[in-house]
Amino acid sequence: MSDADRPGGEPGEITLADFERVDIRVGRILSAEPLAGARVPAYQLRIDFGPEIGIKQSSARITIHYRADELVGRLVLGVVNFPPRRIAGFKSETLTLGVADAQGAVLLVVPDRDAPLGTRLF
Q: What is the pLDDT of residues 38-71, one digit of tens each?
A: 999 999 999 999 999 999 999 999 999 999 999 9
Predicted pLDDT of residue 11 = 84
Predicted pLDDT of residue 1 = 37
CATH superfamily of 20-108: Nucleic acid-binding proteins (2.40.50.140)
Give the integer Cα–Cα distance in Å for 24 and 97.
9
Predicted pLDDT of residue 10 = 78
Sign of the four-CA dihedral 107, 109, 110, 116: negative
Intervals of the chain under pLDDT 50: 1-4
Cβ atoms of 26 and 116 closer than 8 Å: yes
Predicted pLDDT of residue 85 = 96
Q: What is the pTM of this model?
A: 0.89
